[in-house]
Structure 1
């Protein structure tokens, strides 16, 4: 781990809004932080179009959530909420947004990058998926000039937000479910209904947090544990043999 092998952070997780990374993979982040891995979060926007809270409130909540999970660094690119764009090969209106993400990837030099999955009801989540895939690709191009040299992460994984697609693999987060829950409740402006305030899909009694817990329980049930988080890969993982048969035989 570290700059000696060309990597800086072990894991860089991107989120469209503050709280998205926690919703999709907060338990996995807490797990890797507890193992001593260097973990960073990059929020693309301040989530300023959310019904609850404002930029300052959400930034404060994001820092508290990062502290709870054990995250080493959290940055916010300040891109416009409901204004994420991509395409045109890094040129045009989306070019500057891609460039900002490229600069973070090259500066932090992560071993693994985590992005939101692209099939989601929220347009920002879909836009972030495509924007960030462009950024990961572009960050490795030698002729794309920024202040930092090119960098190609070892692995790119995708986490889920609103839905529960078929995962490529599952991570057992049972031991870290409480940490994930605490990190989500740090976002009081989003998940706590104020007296006289409007009910939203986020703060309703059976709203988003209820669905997230149900999904993590469901994924856990597939592997016989309490809670799990699901991830997708665009390419199948490479193993050194069948699962359960790694290493030499104990017989003979």
Structure 2
């Protein structure tokens, strides 16, 4: 399946928190998008692996993505090494996305930065013909390098290189986050675990506040922020949002 956009998150819910608005906008434009979770989030304080799969499937339904799969790397203990790079290269070559959205390179959670660097390295290595991989049926895969790897902002603030207006889809984005009942529900008894950093009401409020702050910078209500190691070029000025200052 050829995808236009592949969103990658080290934990189920990373994609929803970081770039769900952008996925919704692009799907509305007729683009085909998918999600790959690197781990099952098995070290999460609340919920179980089984509930994560159920929640991730519901979030994927809300977003309308074409595919979602989990690579089952070890939560907390995966490495940016040859074995993990090859697994991700196979996935990139499988879906052949033009754009990959993924974890930022440095963040509060060490898994985020490690995953971001793994994704960055795999994007480059996937374009090398002498790295040989096969699909699940044993067929040789062709090389493929995405045009862009855009890192969505997570916990720590980074000066963005790109801002995407998500004002008209922010409510749906938040519904996709709410699909993770065990992670973001505020009731300890109903969620089946103690209160955590991301389960308090303040966490979702801070997420909305971040998007409001980013939106203000481009004259819209809400925006998602991205960092890129590659300069972004436009073929014309139609993609620019012009505002009075």
- TM-score normalized by the length of structure 2: 0.90
Cα distance in 2 between the residues matched to 1:105 and 1:243? 30
The change in CA–CA distance for 1:107 and 1:241 in structure 2 (over 3 A counts) is closer
1:41-120 matched pairs, under 5 angstroms: 41-86=35-80, 94-120=81-107
Residue 34 of structure 1: how far off its partner (Å): 1.3
Are positions 1:18 and 2:12 aligned together? yes
Question: Which stretches in structure 2 are left out of the alignment for 5+ residues?
Answer: 135-140, 241-245
Are positions 1:190 and 2:186 aligned together? no
Give the corresponding residue for 1:203.
Answer: 199
Note if contact 1:164-1:215 (Cα within 8 Å) is conserved in structure 2: no
Cα distance in 2 between the residues matched to 1:188 and 1:76? 19
Give the corresponding residue for 1:163.
Answer: 156
Cα distance in 1 between the residues matched to 2:86 and 2:161? 29
Cα distance in 2 between the residues matched to 1:32 and 1:242? 19
Q: State which of 215, 227, 233 in structure 1 corresponds to 2:222.
A: 227
Residue 242 of structure 1: how far off its partner (Å): 6.2
Greater Rg over alpha carbons, structure:
1
Note if contact 2:8-2:36 (Cα within 8 Å) is conserved in structure 1: yes
Number of aligned residue pairs: give it: 232
1:20-39 matched pairs, under 5 angstroms: 20-39=14-33
State the Cα RMSD in Å: 1.8
The change in CA–CA distance for 1:242 and 1:179 in structure 2 (over 3 A counts) is closer
Give the corresponding residue for 1:89.
Answer: none
Local SS of the residue matching 2:158: coil
Local SS of the residue matching 2:201: coil
Question: Which stretches in structure 1 are left out of the alignment for 5+ residues?
Answer: 87-93, 246-252
Local SS of the residue matching 1:165: coil
Local SS of the residue matching 1:78: strand
Cα distance in 1 between the residues matched to 2:201 and 2:67? 32
Note if contact 1:34-1:70 (Cα within 8 Å) is conserved in structure 2: no
Q: Any idea what the Cα deviations from partners look like across 1:32-77, whole Å, max 9, x if unmatched?
A: 1111100010000000100111111101100110110111100100
Residue 221 of structure 1: how far off its partner (Å): 1.1
The change in CA–CA distance for 1:244 and 1:27 in structure 2 (over 3 A counts) is closer
Are positions 1:121 and 2:108 aligned together? yes
Note if contact 2:19-2:101 (Cα within 8 Å) is conserved in structure 1: no
Give the corresponding residue for 1:236.
Answer: 231
Cα distance in 1 between the residues matched to 2:211 and 2:42? 27
The change in CA–CA distance for 1:233 and 1:201 in structure 2 (over 3 A counts) is same
